[in-house]
Amino acid sequence: MVTYRYLGNSGLKVNEIMYGNWLTHGSQVENETAVACVHAALDAGITTFDTADVYANTRAEEVLGDALRGQRRESLVILTKTYWPVGPKGPNDCGLSRKHIRDSIDGSLRRLGTDYVDVYQAHRYDTETPLEETMLAFADLVRAGKALYIGVSEWTAAQIRAAHALAAELRVPLVSSQPQYSMLWRVIEAEVIPASRELGMSQIVWSPVAQGILTGKYQPGSPLPSGSRATDEKGGSQMIRRWLSDDILTAVQRLRPVADELGLTMAQLAIAWVLQNDNVASAIIGASRPEQVAENVKASGVRIPAELMARIDDILGDLPQRDPSLTAKGAPQTRPC
C-alpha cells in the first residue's frame, strides 16, 4: 500500500504517490475507464488526488468528482488549481485576481462535489495581479473554509519567498510547490528546493517519468509506439517531443540494468528516484488503464542505494536540464486571456 508523508511543515499527510488526471480524464480517456483508474488508485491505498479546472476545460474535475462520489470525504485529500482560462476566456477568466480566484473555487467545488478542497494551488504566477491581492484572496478562502491549505505550481524561488512572506503575515498555510521534476528535468534542485526547505514547504512533483520517456518504451532509431503519448495530437505529443532525441533515448535504455537490479520496472525506478529527495512529499502519477496504477504504486517505499543513485547520474551525464532559469522562461509573461 502507498505510504504517507507530511506536506511541508503542516500536519497534513498526503500519499507519497498521488493520482492526477492532467492528460487523461475528460480528454484522452473515456469516462468509464477514467473512473476505473480512480477506483484502482483507491484500491491501492491512494487517497490523495490532484486535478485542475483547466484540465480538459473543467471536464477532468467533473470526472474526478463523479469517480469519488460515495467515498468518505474526510478520508480523501483533494487538490486543485486555478490560473489558466476556462469557459469563454473573457478578460477576467484567468489569472490570480480576487475575482477570478473567487469564481474559480466555486466552480471547482461544484464540479468536484465537495464543500472544500484540501490544497488550492496557484497554477502559475500572475504577472498582472499584485501578489498582495492574490494572497489576500487565498487567505479569504481559507477563512471561509473553502480551502484548508495553499500551494503554488511552477513558481520561481523568488516568487515563492515573496508569497511565503505574505502568507506568514496573513497566517495562511502556504505549504507546497508543484513543479515538474524527473531524472531528466532537475531545474528545481538549485533554487526552489533549498528555498522550500528553508520555508517549511515541500514539493508535489508532476511528470516523474518525463511524459513516459523514462518507461523505456521509446527506442532510439525506432518508430514511435502506436497509441503512445508521443503520437497523441491532443497535446501529449507536444510535451514529449523535447525528449525524443537519440542521445536521451539511448541513455534511458542504459538505466534498465539499474531497474533490474532493484527488481523494478523502468517507470517504478523513475518514480522511486524522485521520492529519494527528502523535500518531495509526493509524486503525481496518471494512468490511461487501471493496471498502470497498480504497477506504478509499487515504487512506494522503495529506497535506492547511494551507489545506484550515483550510477544513474553517471549514465545520464549532462543530459538532464538543470538550469533554474527555465522555470521563469517557461512561464506566461502576460495573462493568457
Other residues' Cβ atoms within 10 Å of the Cβ of residue 206: 23
CB 314 within 8 A of CB 255: no
The position carrying cell 518504451 is 217
Catalytic site residue 218? no
Q: Report the distance separating Cα 176 and Cα 280, nearest Å.
A: 10
285: part of which helix (H) or strand (E)?
Answer: strand 280-285
Q: Which of 4, 55, 83, 125 is catalytic?
A: 55
Return the C-alpha cell found at 11: 500536519
Return the C-alpha cell found at 272: 522511486
What angle separates helix 98-112 from helix 131-143, to the nearest 10 degrees? 40
Return the C-alpha cell found at 64: 474526478
Output the DSSP codes for 227-271.
Answer: TSGGG-TTTHHHHHGGG-SHHHHHHHHTTHHHHHHHT--HHHHHH
Q: Report the distance separating Cα 169 and Cα 172, nearest Å.
A: 8
Torsion angle of alpha carbons 103, 76, 166, 170, nearest 10°? 90
The residues carrying an active-site annotation are 55
